[in-house]
Amino acid sequence: MKKLHLLFMAVWALILIAQGATAQSSAKDKFFADYEVIVNKMQADNAEVLSPGNYKKAIALFEEANRAYEEKESTREIREMLEESASYARKAAEVIKLAHVTLESAIEARDAAIEAEAALYAARLWEEAEDVFSRATENLEDNDVEDAREYGDEAEQLYRQAELLAIKNGILGEARDAIGVARDLDAAELAYHTFSDAQNLLAQTEKLLEGNRYAREEAMEKAEKAAYQGRHAAYLAKTIKSLSEKEENWEKLILKFEEILTEIGSQFNYVPEFDQGFDSSVKNISNYIMKLKEEKKKLIAENGRLREELNTVKEKEASSSAELQKKLEREAAIEKIKGFFSNEEARVIYEGDNITIRLKGLTFPSGQYIIQPEYFSLLTKVQKALRVFPESHYTVEGHTDALGNARKNKDLSDQRARSVREYLMANMDLDENQISSIGYGEERPVATNETREGRASNRRIDIVIHLNED
């Protein structure tokens, strides 16, 4: 029990210590907060470079104030240190503003050199430029603008030189190393042409960058070629040296080349022979390759043609499918229309792009064209049928039998058709351009006029739905 009590007391002591430390830390944060903002702002504005003297003094005093606080020195003295630190930070801010005006070009050149990694690839020039730039900022801090500007101009030139050198070294480093290795292997003598090609490419890249230091993509491409040729020259030099050491090495080289040609020939089921040299075998292999290229071209062309045919077939299939779908939808709609009428009321006829509703159940008294109320229900069904194809154009046709005067029959059929048209317009809210009427009289019989039944069939109203206009 006593041990448990001691453990509890120890834990409680640690908690109190931690709380005290937290409270102390919080108090310190509040005490330093405003000054820390000023110092952070100074650092963010690059005061260490643009106003190094004021920066060092401000930082030194701020750190000294921190130490004094930790050692619980006089609050008044700590506050004085912080105020003095803030004073140097404010002086730095003024110098920084002046630097961005007086040393603008030098600052831009310095940023460009940093981006080119001049500190890595042009260390000596970079250090020299930094030293001169530091003198410029020191003169600004002493309010000597004229000397600061002179040092700034000198620093700018050095930064530009460092930037260019860094770009060259960064891009050309690999090529220079490869050419250096080749030179050490006596490639200048043993592989003269390849080594010269590598050097020329390197010189061209350097000249390109001197003319436009930002033409990096083109320069990198040339530099890669120079590096390759440098490695190539080194390989050739080593190989030639090896051949010079023993006469048998020449035979080994030739046999190696024959082995390579044999391996290539095996891909075409061709066994080369070398008793007369390489020319015949190389020519035969070259012919095989040319034939393969021609066959590849033909296959590509044939593939293109087949693709076009496939696309044409797909288009036709899509078109046929769309037409079939349209046909099925139309047939379903026609069946729907047929379902509206009984055999005694109407006959629905589908021909081409037209649906004709032949109104067998609609009649007029002899010589009259007024629609009787008993037929309104039939015409209501006609309205339902027309709404199946709401975007189509409709024609109301009037027909008579052949009895009587042909001219009077035509006029009467026209009047009856117009009556039906007007009725449909009034009850369907149709535009007058969507529905038309015409009287054909006795011109278009559907049965013989010699019998009563035939004449009854010829006296009719046909309503035509024009599908090609939907």
Residue pLDDT, tens place only, 353-363? 899 999 989 99
Q: Tokens for 290?
A: 């040319």
- The torsion angles phi and psi of 278, rounded to 5 degrees, stand at -95, -25
22 found inside a domain: no
Query: Could you tell me if 253 and 270 lie in one domain?
Result: yes
Percent of the chain, pLDDT > 90?
Answer: 51
Range in 11-20, 212-221, 273-282, 317-326 with the lowest mean pLDDT: 11-20
Beta bridge partners of 355: 350, 465
The pLDDT value recorded for residue 230 is 93
Alpha carbons 132 and 98: distance in angstroms, whole number? 17
Residues 348 and 463 in one domain: yes
Q: Give the separation between CA 49 and CA 398, rounded to whole angstroms.
A: 102
What pLDDT does 18 receive? 43
Examine the domain organization and report whether 127 and 229 are in the same domain. Answer: yes
Report the number of distinct structural domains present in the chain: 4
The torsion angles phi and psi of 432, rounded to 5 degrees, stand at -65, -20
Q: What is the mean pLDDT of the chain?
A: 87
Q: Does residue 16 lie within any of the structural domains?
A: no
- Domain annotation covers residue 3: no
Residue 395 lies in a domain: yes
- Say how far apart CA 37 and CA 319 lie, in whole Å: 73
Check whether residue 343 and residue 311 sit in a common domain: no
Determine the Cα–Cα distance for residues 181 and 185; give it in Å rounded to an integer.
6
For the domain that residue 414 is a member of, what is the CATH number?
Answer: 3.30.1330.60
CB 82 within 8 A of CB 61: yes
pLDDT score recorded for residue 20 = 47
How far apart CA 196 and CA 230 sit, in angstroms, is 9
Residues 92 and 148 in one domain: no
| pLDDT, position 25 | 56
pTM: 0.49
- Which two tokens mark 6? 């001691």
Per-residue model confidence (pLDDT) at position 250: 81
Structural domain of 345: 339-469
Domain boundary among 205, 237, 269: 237
The per-residue pLDDT for 329 is: 86
Q: Which of 332, 360, 381 is the last residue of a domain?
A: 332
Encoding tokens for residue 387?
A: 């709404």
Query: pLDDT for 103-138, tens place per residue?
Result: 999 999 999 999 989 899 889 999 999 999 999 999
> Three-state SS for 350?
strand
Identify the pLDDT of residue 334.
Answer: 87
Residues 124 and 179 in one domain: yes
Across residues 218-234, what is the average pLDDT?
Answer: 93
CA separation for the pair 386, 451 (Å, rounded): 33
Band (12; pLDDT cuts 50, 70, 90): very low
Q: What local confidence, expressed as pLDDT, does residue 197 receive?
A: 95
- Residue 70 CB neighbours (<10 A): 10
Mean pLDDT over 391-416 rounds to 93
CA 452 vs CA 32, 406, 448, 449: distances in Å = 119, 18, 9, 7
Report residue 464 as tokens.
Answer: 């035509």
Give me Rg for the CA atoms of the chain. 51
> Are 61 and 111 within one domain?
no
**Residues paired with 149 in a beta bridge:** none
Residue 9 lies in a domain: no
Residue-wise over 426-438: b if at least 16 C-beta within 10 A, else e?
A: eebebeeebbbbe
According to DSSP, residue 371 is labeled P
> Alpha helices of 103-215 — where are they, by DSSP H?
104-115, 118-121, 123-141, 145-184, 187-190, 192-211
Question: What distance separates the 2 farthest-apart alpha carbons in the chain?
Answer: 137
Q: Is the pLDDT at 2 greater than 80, yes or no?
A: no
Q: Per residue in 147-176, pLDDT tens? A: 999 999 999 999 999 988 888 888 888 999
CA dist., res. 149 & res. 106, Å (int): 9
On whether the CB atoms of residues 336 and 388 are closer than 8 A, the answer is yes
Specify whether the CB–CB gap between 159 and 109 falls below 8 A: yes
Q: Which long-range contacts (CB under 8 A, 24 or more apart) does 248-252 make?
A: none
For residues 193 and 83, membership in a common domain is answered with no
Residue 21 lies in a domain: no
Q: Looking at residues 55-61, what average pLDDT do you find?
A: 91
- 332 vs 11, higher pLDDT: 332
In tens, the pLDDT along 61-79 reads 989 989 988 888 888 998 9
Q: Are residues 260 and 347 in the same domain?
A: no
Say yes or no: 207 and 326 in one domain: no
Element (H, E) at 336: helix 279-338
CB 382 within 8 A of CB 425: no
Q: Is 13 contained in some domain? A: no
- Can you give the pLDDT at residue 408? 94
450 and 351 inside one domain? yes
Boundary residue ending a domain (297, 332, 367): 332
**Is residue 20 included in any domain, yes or no?**
no
Contacts of 414 (CB under 8 A, 6+ apart): 398, 437, 438, 439
Sheet order of strands, 354-359 included:
347-351, 354-359, 460-466, 393-399, 435-441
Domain identity same for 327 and 365: no
CB 175 within 8 A of CB 226: yes
pLDDT at 30: 84
Q: For 8, what's the count of Cα atoms within 13 Å in the CB-facing half-sphere?
A: 5
- Distance separating alpha carbons of residues 372 and 358, to the nearest angstrom: 18
